[in-house]
Amino acid sequence: MTEKLIKKILKKYGYDVVKIYPEQSGYRNKSYAVDVMHLYDSVRAKNILPLQRKRNLILYKNEQGIIKKIQNANAVSNFLAEQGIPSRKSLGKIIRLHDEKIERFACLYNYLPGETISWEAYNKEHIKLLGKAMSDMHFYLKDYSKKDKLESIDEIIKNQANKMIQYFKKEGVRNAMVRKLGLICNINFINKFVGAENLRPLQNIYSDQSIPLHMDLVRSNVLFDLDKNKDIFISGIIDFEKVAKGNRIFDIARTLAFLLVDCKYKDPVKIRKYFLISGYKKRELEDLPDLTHLNYLIYYFLTYDFYKFLRHNPYESLNSNEHFIRTKNFLLSKKILISCS
C-alpha cells in the first residue's frame, strides 16, 4: 500500500498522518501502525490541542466472504474490549477500496502495545497467561448477543474434513506423499468428522451453551508486555477473523494443538497443566468444560495443519520445516499418518 493511499484512507476516518511505520504482513492482511492527528479546522485548532495518537490500519486480503469475516471479527473483538479484555476495537466503518480493479477492504483500529514472541521463548508464565486470557474471554462471551450471525464450528469442521478427504483421495496426492514424504494418511480418522452422524457424539457431550470462539489464539495473535514491576502480561489479543460459535472445548483444543507442537522445549504434560489447570481453571473466572474428547479434537486440528502444509508448500521443502516435522511426528505417533519409507 502506498503512502498516498494510506493518507487517503485515514482522511476518511478524520485523521492526518504524522508517521507511517513499516508494514507488518500476516496470512490474511497487511498491518500499518500510524501516528495520526485529528483533522481540525483553523478556528477549532486554536482552542483544542490536536493530540497525536497511534492507530493501527489493516488492509485485508481479498477472499470469499471476507467482508462478513471482518464484520464478525470486529463485533466480537469490540464486545470484549468493552469488557476490559485487551482486544482490538474498530474505530469506524469498514472501507471498500478499488485498486487496479481489485476490491479490497480496510479498517482502522486502536493501537495495542507489546509484541509477539517466538514459541521458543514461551515459558510457563506465558502459557498460564494464555489459558487465563482464554478463560476470561469465554466468561464474557457467554453474554454476547449476536451469536446467530456466526458460523457453527461444527459446520466449519465438517467442511474442512470433506475437503481433506477429497484431497487425500487423489491418486496424484497419494503417490506424491509416498514418493516424496514416505507417508500415507489414515483417511478413516478424518472420516469421523464428516457428516452430522459422526459428529453427534461431540454434539451430545458438548450441548451446553454455544458461545463465540476465537479459534486462532496462537503466538502471532497474542501480544505480551511488561508492567512497571517488570512482570509480563498480555497486552493485546488480535485477529478474530476465524471466530465461530460452539462449545469452549473447540477453542481449547485448537490452542493446545499449537502449544503441544510448537513449544518444543516444554514437556507436553506440563504444557497441558500450565494452560488448563494453572491458567484456564485456577487463574480467573471460568471453570473447564468437559474434556472427554479433548485429545480427539487436538488430533483433528493437527491433521488439518498437516493438510495445510501440503496444500501451501512444495512437498520437497517440507522436511526442512521444523513445524511440519513436529506435526508429522505427532501424527505418526497417533497412527493418523503411516510411514512407508
Distance of CA 330 to the CA centre of its chain: 21
- State residue 41's pLDDT score: 42
Whether the CB-CB separation of 234 and 133 falls below 8 Å is answered with yes
Beta strand 29-38 with 15-20 is antiparallel
C-alpha cell of residue 219: 503466538
Return the domain boundaries, the chain.
3-110, 119-339
C-alpha cell of residue 14: 478524520
Least confident of 29-33, 189-193, 250-254: 189-193
- State residue 27's pLDDT score: 64
Q: Which helix (H) or strand (E) holds 301?
A: helix 294-312
Q: Which helix (H) or strand (E) holds 19?
A: strand 15-20
**Phi, psi dihedral angles at 39 (to 5 degrees):** -80, 115
Give the bridge partners for 104, in sequence order.
97
The predicted model scores a pTM of 0.91
Look at residue 43 and tell me whether its pLDDT is greater than 50.
no
**CATH for 3-110, among 3.30.70.60, 3.30.200.20, 3.40.30.10, 1.10.10.350?**
3.30.200.20
Q: Which helix (H) or strand (E) holds 57?
A: strand 52-60
- Report the distance separating Cα 263 and Cα 152, nearest Å: 29
- State residue 38's pLDDT score: 79
Q: Which of 45, 44, 55 is nearest to 6 (CA)?
A: 55
Query: 491458567: which residue's cell?
Result: 279
- Report the distance separating Cα 293 and Cα 222, nearest Å: 26
Least confident of 42-51, 160-169, 254-263, 325-334: 42-51
Whether the CB-CB separation of 246 and 184 falls below 8 Å is answered with no
Query: Taking the alpha carbons of 232, 236, 240, 244 in that order, is the dihedral positive or negative?
Result: positive
Mean of pLDDT values over 314-331: 95
Least confident of 39-43, 71-75, 209-213, 256-260: 39-43
Q: Which of 50-64, 70-84, 254-268 has the highest mean predicted lDDT (pLDDT)?
A: 70-84
Q: Give 186-209 pLDDT, tens digit per residue.
A: 998 998 887 655 555 555 555 557
C-alpha cell of residue 261: 507442537
Look at residue 25 and tell me whether its pLDDT is greater than 50.
yes
Q: What is the largest CA-CA distance in the chain?
A: 77
- State residue 193's pLDDT score: 81
Which residues, in sequence order, are CB contacts of 291 under 8 Å at separation 6+? 249, 252, 276
- Report the distance separating Cα 214 and Cα 241, nearest Å: 8
**Phi, psi dihedral angles at 100 (to 5 degrees):** 55, 45
- State residue 31's pLDDT score: 92
Look at residue 169 and tell me whether its pLDDT is greater than 90.
yes
- Report the distance separating Cα 177 and Cα 191, nearest Å: 19
Least confident of 112-116, 192-196, 210-214, 234-238: 192-196
| Eight-class DSSP state of 77 | H
12: helix, strand or coil? helix
pLDDT mean across residues, the chain: 88
Q: Give 114-161 pLDDT, tens digit per residue.
A: 999 988 889 999 999 999 999 999 999 999 999 889 999 988 998 999
CATH topology of domain 119-339: Aminoglycoside 3'-phosphotransferase; Chain: A, domain 2 (3.90.1200)
Instruction: Label residue 87 by pLDDT band (50, 70, 90).
Output: very high
Distances (CA, A) of 341 to 108, 182, 318: 51, 5, 16
